[in-house]
Amino acid sequence: MLGQDVMTAAARAGHHAIGLSRRELDVRDRGAVAAATASARPDVVVNCAAWTDVDAAELEEEDATAVNGGAAGHVAAAAAAAGAFTVQVSTDYVFDGLAREPYCESARTAPLGAYGRSKLAGELAVVGAAQDSHAIVRSSWLFGQHGGNFVATMRRLADERDVLTVVDDQVGCPTFTVHLARALVTIAEQRLPGVHHVAGAGACSWHDLAAAIFAATGTAVELTRGSTADLGRPAPRPAYSVLRSERSDTPVLPAWQDGLRAYLELGVIA
Protein backbone atom coordinates (compact mmCIF):
# COMPACT_ATOMS: atom_id res chain seq x y z
CA MET A 1 0.00 0.00 0.00
CA LEU A 2 2.58 2.59 1.08
CA GLY A 3 5.33 1.29 -1.16
CA GLN A 4 3.34 1.79 -4.34
CA ASP A 5 2.47 5.35 -3.34
CA VAL A 6 6.13 6.08 -2.57
CA MET A 7 7.06 4.85 -6.04
CA THR A 8 4.48 7.17 -7.59
CA ALA A 9 5.52 10.14 -5.44
CA ALA A 10 9.19 9.63 -6.28
CA ALA A 11 8.48 9.43 -10.01
CA ARG A 12 6.34 12.57 -9.91
CA ALA A 13 9.17 14.37 -8.11
CA GLY A 14 11.47 13.48 -11.01
CA HIS A 15 13.39 10.62 -9.41
CA HIS A 16 14.24 7.21 -10.83
CA ALA A 17 12.79 4.80 -8.30
CA ILE A 18 13.32 1.05 -8.11
CA GLY A 19 10.65 -0.85 -6.19
CA LEU A 20 11.12 -4.45 -5.13
CA SER A 21 8.14 -6.54 -4.05
CA ARG A 22 8.23 -9.21 -1.36
CA ARG A 23 8.48 -11.82 -4.13
CA GLU A 24 11.47 -10.07 -5.63
CA LEU A 25 13.37 -9.47 -2.39
CA ASP A 26 13.04 -11.12 1.00
CA VAL A 27 14.35 -8.42 3.34
CA ARG A 28 15.09 -11.08 5.96
CA ASP A 29 17.89 -12.34 3.70
CA ARG A 30 20.87 -10.14 4.57
CA GLY A 31 22.92 -11.29 1.57
CA ALA A 32 20.08 -10.74 -0.90
CA VAL A 33 19.42 -7.26 0.48
CA ALA A 34 23.10 -6.36 0.23
CA ALA A 35 23.33 -7.64 -3.36
CA ALA A 36 20.17 -5.87 -4.52
CA THR A 37 21.25 -2.60 -2.96
CA ALA A 38 24.76 -2.77 -4.37
CA SER A 39 23.32 -3.47 -7.83
CA ALA A 40 20.89 -0.56 -7.69
CA ARG A 41 23.51 1.93 -6.41
CA PRO A 42 20.84 4.14 -4.81
CA ASP A 43 21.16 7.57 -3.25
CA VAL A 44 18.35 6.77 -0.78
CA VAL A 45 16.67 3.58 0.36
CA VAL A 46 13.11 3.84 1.71
CA ASN A 47 12.09 0.75 3.66
CA CYS A 48 8.33 0.20 3.36
CA ALA A 49 8.57 -3.55 4.03
CA ALA A 50 6.86 -4.55 7.28
CA TRP A 51 4.89 -7.14 9.19
CA THR A 52 1.69 -5.16 9.76
CA ASP A 53 -0.69 -7.74 11.26
CA VAL A 54 -0.76 -6.54 14.86
CA ASP A 55 -2.68 -9.49 16.29
CA ALA A 56 -0.64 -12.10 14.43
CA ALA A 57 2.52 -10.45 15.72
CA GLU A 58 1.36 -11.13 19.26
CA LEU A 59 1.21 -14.83 18.43
CA GLU A 60 4.30 -14.94 16.20
CA GLU A 61 6.59 -12.33 17.71
CA GLU A 62 9.82 -13.94 16.53
CA ASP A 63 8.67 -13.87 12.92
CA ALA A 64 7.34 -10.32 13.20
CA THR A 65 10.61 -9.14 14.71
CA ALA A 66 12.59 -10.83 11.95
CA VAL A 67 10.80 -8.59 9.45
CA ASN A 68 10.31 -5.40 11.44
CA GLY A 69 13.52 -5.60 13.45
CA GLY A 70 16.32 -7.64 11.94
CA ALA A 71 15.41 -6.98 8.32
CA ALA A 72 15.28 -3.22 8.94
CA GLY A 73 18.86 -3.52 10.09
CA HIS A 74 19.77 -5.46 6.94
CA VAL A 75 18.29 -2.70 4.76
CA ALA A 76 20.05 0.09 6.67
CA ALA A 77 23.38 -1.73 6.65
CA ALA A 78 23.18 -2.36 2.91
CA ALA A 79 22.26 1.27 2.29
CA ALA A 80 25.18 2.47 4.41
CA ALA A 81 27.57 0.19 2.51
CA ALA A 82 26.32 1.73 -0.73
CA GLY A 83 26.68 5.26 0.63
CA ALA A 84 22.92 5.74 0.64
CA PHE A 85 20.62 7.45 3.12
CA THR A 86 18.00 5.23 4.81
CA VAL A 87 14.38 6.19 5.43
CA GLN A 88 12.75 3.72 7.83
CA VAL A 89 8.97 3.76 8.33
CA SER A 90 7.88 3.16 11.93
CA THR A 91 4.71 3.43 13.99
CA ASP A 92 2.78 5.03 16.82
CA TYR A 93 2.69 1.59 18.47
CA VAL A 94 6.14 2.24 19.93
CA PHE A 95 4.26 4.27 22.59
CA ASP A 96 2.09 2.96 25.43
CA GLY A 97 -0.86 5.27 24.81
CA LEU A 98 -0.99 6.58 28.38
CA ALA A 99 -0.19 10.18 27.40
CA ARG A 100 -2.74 12.98 27.58
CA GLU A 101 -1.07 15.12 24.93
CA PRO A 102 0.42 14.30 21.53
CA TYR A 103 3.62 12.28 21.39
CA CYS A 104 6.57 14.20 19.97
CA GLU A 105 9.81 12.71 18.71
CA SER A 106 11.55 13.02 22.09
CA ALA A 107 8.80 11.14 23.98
CA ARG A 108 9.81 7.98 25.80
CA THR A 109 9.02 4.79 23.90
CA ALA A 110 7.23 1.99 25.74
CA PRO A 111 5.47 -0.42 23.38
CA LEU A 112 2.58 -2.44 24.80
CA GLY A 113 2.76 -5.47 22.53
CA ALA A 114 4.79 -7.54 20.14
CA TYR A 115 4.15 -5.40 17.07
CA GLY A 116 5.35 -2.24 18.82
CA ARG A 117 8.36 -4.06 20.21
CA SER A 118 9.25 -5.38 16.77
CA LYS A 119 9.04 -1.92 15.22
CA LEU A 120 11.10 -0.38 18.00
CA ALA A 121 13.68 -3.11 17.43
CA GLY A 122 13.76 -1.97 13.80
CA GLU A 123 14.36 1.63 14.82
CA LEU A 124 17.29 0.59 17.00
CA ALA A 125 18.70 -1.65 14.28
CA VAL A 126 18.62 1.23 11.79
CA VAL A 127 20.36 3.57 14.23
CA GLY A 128 23.04 0.96 14.80
CA ALA A 129 23.58 0.20 11.12
CA ALA A 130 23.19 3.60 9.49
CA GLN A 131 24.62 5.86 12.22
CA ASP A 132 23.73 9.48 11.26
CA SER A 133 22.71 8.68 7.69
CA HIS A 134 19.08 7.77 8.34
CA ALA A 135 15.59 9.03 9.11
CA ILE A 136 12.99 7.17 11.13
CA VAL A 137 9.46 8.26 10.23
CA ARG A 138 6.72 7.29 12.65
CA SER A 139 3.19 7.40 11.30
CA SER A 140 -0.19 5.88 12.18
CA TRP A 141 -3.54 4.50 11.05
CA LEU A 142 -2.63 4.23 7.37
CA PHE A 143 -5.21 3.96 4.62
CA GLY A 144 -4.74 4.04 0.85
CA GLN A 145 -5.92 2.68 -2.46
CA HIS A 146 -3.49 -0.23 -2.81
CA GLY A 147 -4.47 -2.41 0.11
CA GLY A 148 -7.02 -3.34 2.73
CA ASN A 149 -7.66 -0.64 5.32
CA PHE A 150 -10.20 0.60 7.86
CA VAL A 151 -12.00 2.93 5.44
CA ALA A 152 -12.55 0.20 2.88
CA THR A 153 -13.60 -2.25 5.60
CA MET A 154 -16.20 0.14 7.00
CA ARG A 155 -17.70 0.74 3.56
CA ARG A 156 -17.88 -2.98 2.89
CA LEU A 157 -19.44 -3.78 6.26
CA ALA A 158 -22.02 -1.01 5.84
CA ASP A 159 -23.20 -2.78 2.69
CA GLU A 160 -23.59 -6.02 4.63
CA ARG A 161 -25.09 -4.86 7.94
CA ASP A 162 -27.66 -2.41 9.26
CA VAL A 163 -25.84 -1.75 12.54
CA LEU A 164 -22.10 -1.35 13.12
CA THR A 165 -20.27 -1.03 16.44
CA VAL A 166 -16.91 0.74 16.35
CA VAL A 167 -14.58 1.42 19.28
CA ASP A 168 -14.37 4.95 20.61
CA ASP A 169 -11.59 4.40 23.18
CA GLN A 170 -8.65 4.48 20.77
CA VAL A 171 -7.58 7.90 19.50
CA GLY A 172 -5.00 8.48 16.80
CA CYS A 173 -4.18 10.16 13.51
CA PRO A 174 -5.64 8.60 10.33
CA THR A 175 -3.05 9.02 7.57
CA PHE A 176 -3.60 8.85 3.80
CA THR A 177 -0.68 7.00 2.25
CA VAL A 178 -0.46 9.38 -0.72
CA HIS A 179 0.18 12.26 1.68
CA LEU A 180 2.67 10.23 3.71
CA ALA A 181 4.49 9.07 0.58
CA ARG A 182 5.06 12.65 -0.53
CA ALA A 183 6.49 13.47 2.88
CA LEU A 184 8.81 10.46 2.74
CA VAL A 185 10.13 11.62 -0.61
CA THR A 186 10.72 15.12 0.80
CA ILE A 187 12.64 13.67 3.77
CA ALA A 188 14.63 11.51 1.35
CA GLU A 189 15.41 14.43 -0.97
CA GLN A 190 16.59 16.65 1.86
CA ARG A 191 18.22 13.82 3.81
CA LEU A 192 16.64 15.03 7.03
CA PRO A 193 18.21 12.84 9.74
CA GLY A 194 16.76 11.54 12.98
CA VAL A 195 13.21 10.77 14.07
CA HIS A 196 10.18 12.42 12.45
CA HIS A 197 6.53 12.18 13.39
CA VAL A 198 4.47 12.41 10.20
CA ALA A 199 0.74 11.66 10.36
CA GLY A 200 -2.56 13.16 9.32
CA ALA A 201 -3.12 16.44 11.15
CA GLY A 202 -5.74 16.39 13.88
CA ALA A 203 -6.96 13.36 15.80
CA CYS A 204 -10.05 11.21 16.18
CA SER A 205 -11.28 7.87 17.47
CA TRP A 206 -12.05 4.93 15.22
CA HIS A 207 -15.74 5.68 15.86
CA ASP A 208 -15.23 9.28 14.75
CA LEU A 209 -13.50 8.10 11.61
CA ALA A 210 -16.29 5.67 10.80
CA ALA A 211 -18.87 8.42 11.30
CA ALA A 212 -16.92 10.70 8.95
CA ILE A 213 -16.74 7.95 6.33
CA PHE A 214 -20.49 7.37 6.38
CA ALA A 215 -21.28 11.09 6.39
CA ALA A 216 -19.01 11.70 3.41
CA THR A 217 -20.44 8.81 1.42
CA GLY A 218 -24.08 9.32 2.40
CA THR A 219 -24.22 5.82 3.87
CA ALA A 220 -27.30 4.99 5.95
CA VAL A 221 -26.15 2.70 8.75
CA GLU A 222 -26.69 2.76 12.50
CA LEU A 223 -23.33 3.38 14.16
CA THR A 224 -22.90 2.53 17.84
CA ARG A 225 -19.98 2.94 20.25
CA GLY A 226 -17.92 0.00 21.48
CA SER A 227 -14.82 -0.60 23.57
CA THR A 228 -11.51 -2.22 22.73
CA ALA A 229 -12.00 -4.76 25.52
CA ASP A 230 -15.18 -6.00 23.86
CA LEU A 231 -13.21 -7.05 20.76
CA GLY A 232 -11.12 -9.59 22.63
CA ARG A 233 -8.15 -9.13 20.29
CA PRO A 234 -4.81 -10.81 21.16
CA ALA A 235 -2.77 -7.63 20.90
CA PRO A 236 -3.07 -4.60 23.19
CA ARG A 237 -3.56 -1.26 21.47
CA PRO A 238 -2.44 2.18 22.69
CA ALA A 239 -5.54 4.11 23.78
CA TYR A 240 -4.03 7.43 22.74
CA SER A 241 -1.34 7.55 20.08
CA VAL A 242 -1.66 11.01 18.55
CA LEU A 243 1.60 12.07 16.88
CA ARG A 244 2.95 15.59 16.52
CA SER A 245 6.36 16.88 15.48
CA GLU A 246 8.50 19.19 17.56
CA ARG A 247 10.82 19.70 14.57
CA SER A 248 10.62 22.68 12.21
CA ASP A 249 12.00 20.68 9.27
CA THR A 250 9.52 17.78 9.42
CA PRO A 251 6.87 17.82 6.66
CA VAL A 252 3.37 18.57 7.94
CA LEU A 253 0.53 16.54 6.43
CA PRO A 254 -2.97 17.80 5.61
CA ALA A 255 -5.78 17.15 8.09
CA TRP A 256 -6.95 13.55 8.27
CA GLN A 257 -10.34 14.72 6.95
CA ASP A 258 -8.61 15.98 3.80
CA GLY A 259 -6.87 12.63 3.44
CA LEU A 260 -10.18 10.82 3.78
CA ARG A 261 -11.78 13.09 1.19
CA ALA A 262 -8.92 12.53 -1.27
CA TYR A 263 -9.09 8.76 -0.78
CA LEU A 264 -12.86 8.63 -1.30
CA GLU A 265 -12.52 10.66 -4.49
CA LEU A 266 -10.48 7.78 -5.90
CA GLY A 267 -13.64 5.65 -5.77
CA VAL A 268 -11.77 2.56 -4.59
CA ILE A 269 -13.21 -0.10 -2.28
CA ALA A 270 -10.50 -2.63 -1.42
CA angle, 75 as apex, 73 and 81 as ends, to 5°? 100
> Among 237, 245, 136, which Cα is nearest to 192's?
136
Which pairs with CB-CB distance under 8 Å and at least 24 residues apart come from 152-158? 152/268, 152/269, 152/270, 154/209, 154/210, 154/213, 154/214, 155/213, 155/217, 155/219, 155/269, 156/269, 158/214, 158/219, 158/221
- Cα distance between residue 56 and residue 32, in whole Å: 26
Using DSSP's 3-state secondary structure scheme, residue 8 falls into helix
Q: How many CB atoms within 10 Å of residue 270?
A: 15
Please tell me the distance from the alpha carbon of residue 70 to that of residue 128, in angstroms, as a whole number: 11
Catalytic center residues: 115
Question: Kindly report the CA angle at 213 between 212 and 214, in degrees rounded to 5?
Answer: 95
Number of H helices and E strands in the chain, helices first, is: 11, 10
